[in-house]
Amino acid sequence: MVESVSIEKIADSTGTPVYIYSTEAFLTPLKEFQRGLASVDHLICFAVKANSNINVLKLLGDAGAGMDLVSGGELHRVGLAKIPADRVVFSGVGKSPGEMAAAMKMQRRGIFCFNVESTAEIETLNAVAESLNQCAPVALRFNPDVNPKTHPYISTGLKKNKFGMDRKEILEIVRNLKNYRFIEIKGLSIHIGSQLLSLDPLDDAFQKLGQLIDELNTKLPRPLTHVDLGGGLGITYSKGEKSPPIRKYCELVLKHFGPNAQQRLPFKILIEPGRILSGNSGILVTEVLYRKERPTKDFLIVDAAMNDLLRPSLYGSFHDIVPVKKLNGRPKKTDIAGPVCETGDCFAHDRAMTTQLKSGDLLAILSAGAYGFTMSSNYNSRPRPPEVLVSNGKFTVIRERENYDDLTRGEAG
């Protein structure tokens, strides 16, 4: 059941595979962040890359969230979701001039801030702003060289990573501020990685960031007005993992940047949670196509594949997988694999699954609400699955299943 709605009922209506999201599961952690930061001026910007469905963005926006985006396409989605421009921040290392201009023209007054990642980018943004005769609000992204202790593919705060600037680069921009007449430096931003299961790396990064804020406030013509602390707080995917409580994270934020933090000037605090809001808000439901029996290990071939949920193939990530209908029977070592012609198309290796699972049974792949559909593709010319949102005992299809005509749309022939 998802919010008292039968998973089987949804699957009968939409077919499988299908992504199913819970409204309550999205809003519960958002409200916890809002309570934890209630004592300070703050803006919670959902990381759109985690789950970009327009209906999800509108759901979170209506509950008071802003948006953190990294592309022109995400900017377009945020606009369709009618998120106020003054609640939007634009991150990412490769913003194009066209994307910058679109963000500055969003709802005429432009977005809240650009998180700028390099000197070359600030030069480009200054030229775009000049062409529009506007001033671009900027937060300089600081790379504190802190090990986030996460998967190397989602580590973003080490010196060897492509993200952000070190202290020397940031000070150089401040020294040359006269060259950027259409730039207003309003803040500093930081993001050290995703799926963080310890607050210790954030504690170290926040300390370094606070020191740089204090230093810049002695050099800038006007003090900084906000700090963007990024996201990255992890969720529990497996029994061996334990994610930090949101309450503890908020306490850490207030320790470094709250009203009593080293007598710093009061400013707005931004955070960019993505996975922590959406990860455990969704499941991917798939049907068993075939059981291939082997002496030591069986294979369950399901109708979902790596093109629908890439994380296990890309990162070797663990997702708990459970039968939708309770089954008895002895457990046997089992691989759960999709139909794509890649050995890597596997959701689970050597998982203990009941031998009663057979063709037609449904499995739920848990914690699939973040970086699930957004990373999906049409590999092997497979149409992408539908997305369903459950709320108040009812479900709504918020994205239709693709069909074969969708696969070939735009191709000459």
Catalytic hit among 113, 135, 250, 341 = 341
Same fold, 84-273 and 280-401: no
Q: Cα-Cα-Cα-Cα dihedral of 10, 82, 124, 70, to 10°?
A: -20
Predicted confidence band at 256 (pLDDT cuts at 50, 70, 90)?
Answer: very high
Strands (E), 155-305: 183-189, 226-228, 268-271, 282-292, 298-302
Q: In angstroms, what CA-CA distances link 401 with 203, 308, 406?
A: 43, 12, 10
Which residue's entry shows tokens 């010196």?
159
Of 75, 189, 76, nearest in space to 142 by CA: 189
Cα separation, 349 vs 337, whole angstroms: 9
* DSSP assignment letter at 159: T
Compute the mean pLDDT over every residue in the chain, rounded to the nearest whole number. Answer: 93
In this prediction, residues 197-220 reach a mean pLDDT of 92
pLDDT digits (tens, 9 = 90+) for 14-42: 999 999 999 999 999 999 999 999 999 99
Of 390, 406, 379, 404, nearest in space to 285 by CA: 390
Instruction: Please state the CATH superfamily assignment of the domain spanning residues 84-273 in this structure.
Output: Alanine racemase (3.20.20.10)
Q: In terms of DSSP bridges, do strands 394-399 and 387-391 run parallel, antiparallel, or are they unpaired?
A: antiparallel
Predicted confidence band at 161 (pLDDT cuts at 50, 70, 90)?
Answer: low
In percent, the amount of the chain with pLDDT more than 90 equals 87
Cα separation, 238 vs 104, whole angstroms: 42
Contact 87, 66 (CB under 8 A): yes
Of the candidate ranges 39-48, 129-138, 196-205, the one whose mean pLDDT is the lowest: 196-205
Domain boundaries, the chain: 84-273, 280-401
pLDDT higher than threshold 70 for residue 395: yes
Predicted confidence band at 338 (pLDDT cuts at 50, 70, 90)?
Answer: very high
Q: Is residue 350 classed as helix, strand or coil in its secondary structure?
A: strand
Give the number of C-alpha atoms closer than 13 A to the C-alpha of residue 307, restricted to the C-beta side.
15
Q: Which helix (H) or strand (E) holds 246?
A: helix 246-257
Respond yes or no: is residue 250 known to be catalytic: no
Alpha helical stretches, state H, 37-186? 54-62, 72-80, 97-105, 119-132, 167-175
Predicted confidence band at 262 (pLDDT cuts at 50, 70, 90)?
Answer: low
Predicted confidence band at 240 (pLDDT cuts at 50, 70, 90)?
Answer: confident
Q: Identify the top-confidence range among 89-98, 200-209, 261-270.
A: 89-98
pLDDT higher than threshold 90 for residue 157: no
pLDDT higher than threshold 80 for residue 212: yes
Cα separation, 404 vs 237, whole angstroms: 33
Phi, psi dihedrals of residue 310, rounded to the nearest 5°: -85, -25
Predicted confidence band at 148 (pLDDT cuts at 50, 70, 90)?
Answer: low
Residue 263 has a pLDDT of: 56
In this prediction, residues 203-225 reach a mean pLDDT of 93
Predicted confidence band at 239 (pLDDT cuts at 50, 70, 90)?
Answer: confident
Q: In angstroms, what CA-CA distances link 108 with 37, 85, 98, 104?
A: 30, 9, 15, 7
Instruction: Please state the CATH superfamily assignment of the domain spanning residues 280-401 in this structure.
Output: Lyase, Ornithine Decarboxylase; Chain A, domain 1 (2.40.37.10)
In this prediction, residues 384-411 reach a mean pLDDT of 97
Predicted confidence band at 164 (pLDDT cuts at 50, 70, 90)?
Answer: confident
Q: In terms of DSSP bridges, do strands 362-365 and 321-323 run parallel, antiparallel, or are they unpaired?
A: antiparallel
pLDDT higher than threshold 80 for residue 9: yes
pLDDT higher than threshold 90 for residue 69: yes
pLDDT higher than threshold 80 for residue 153: no
Which residue's entry shows tokens 């005769």?
133
